């Protein structure tokens, strides 16, 4: 039975979810078997799609939810949360 995991995080990097950050996030989610989504307010997008992530226009300070469904959903959510909380490895 597939696992469903959800975690809320805040975008902390100065530029928000811009192209380079979205690309890192999408590539990371593609490493997992679980399907990963990002939810912001009423919008839910496929986290493996850079274009979908950019359409969220998530700026610094925005709260988002990471959702994942599948066998490695917990690991996927943990990895995505770590990437976001580390400010996408960008300068502070």
Is 65 one of the annotated active-site residues of the chain?
no
CB-neighbour burial class of residue 52 (10 A; exposed 0-12, middle 13-18, buried 19+):
middle
Query: What's the N-to-C CA distance of the chain in angstroms?
Result: 40
Catalytically annotated residue among 3, 7, 15, 18: 18
Which residues are catalytically annotated?
A: 18
């Amino acid at each position: 039975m597939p696992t469903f995991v959800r975690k809320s995080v805040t975008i902390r990097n100065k530029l928000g979810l811009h192209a380079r950050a979205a690309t890192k996030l999408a590539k990371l989610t593609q490493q997992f078997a679980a399907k990963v989504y990002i939810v912001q307010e009423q919008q839910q997008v496929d986290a493996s799609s850079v274009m979908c992530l950019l359409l969220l226009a998530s700026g610094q300070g925005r709260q988002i939810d990471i959702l994942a469904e599948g066998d490695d959903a917990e690991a996927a959510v943990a990895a995505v949360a770590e990437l976001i909380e580390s400010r996408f490895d960008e300068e502070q």
